[in-house]
Amino acid sequence: MVAGVAIALSGCNQNTAIGNDREAQLDPAPTPVPIEPASQALQNVATAIVKPETMSDADIQAIGGTAGRCVYRLTEVGFPTFVYQPDSEAFIKLNGKIIPLSADGPDRFTSGELLVTTRLIDEEGNAGLQAQEIIVVPPGAKDELGYRGYVRCDDA
């Protein structure tokens, strides 16, 4: 019985979620996910399951880093979910892909029928980051999806 439990638990240390400690000498360096327009990245995906995902360091490098951009996180210590330059460009990770968006008005970004809007909240987190909401409206969605998190903008 002890052997059975040991075998069952042997795979429990294989969590590859972003942010988990990994052994660099054993695990290959992470590769970025594909960068695709919303029409391709969300093709044949039910809108009910489209949720923002965290970007890895490799994903951030693939979009050119965060210098001079605003970085939105679901938690103050989490990895980025949405990276943008106000009135310019943005990137969001949905369905395991990074989707580039273009500014389409103040605090509004689009890629095809995908819409992402931002709104600053008059609150501050425990670590001093500005609270912000993002609203994600996937193509064909009947409802918008709202998320409250934290943003830090780099003016450099």
What are 65-79's pLDDT values in tens digits?
A: 999 999 999 999 999
Which of 67, 46, 54 has the alpha carbon at shortest distance from 149?
Answer: 54
Q: Is the pLDDT of residue 119 over 70?
A: yes
Q: State how far the Cα of 123 lies from the Cα of 41, in Å rounded to an integer.
A: 33
pTM above 0.85, yes or no: no
Sorting pLDDT into bands at 50, 70 and 90, what band is 28? Answer: confident
Give the CA-trace dihedral at 42, 46, 52, 57, to 10 degrees. Answer: -50
Mean pLDDT of 133-140: 94
Please compute the mean of the pLDDT values over residues 139-152 and round it to a whole number: 92
Predicted pLDDT of residue 11: 52
- Taking alpha carbons only, the member of 100, 87, 92, 88 closest to residue 71 is 92
pLDDT of residue 77: 93
pLDDT given at position 3? 55
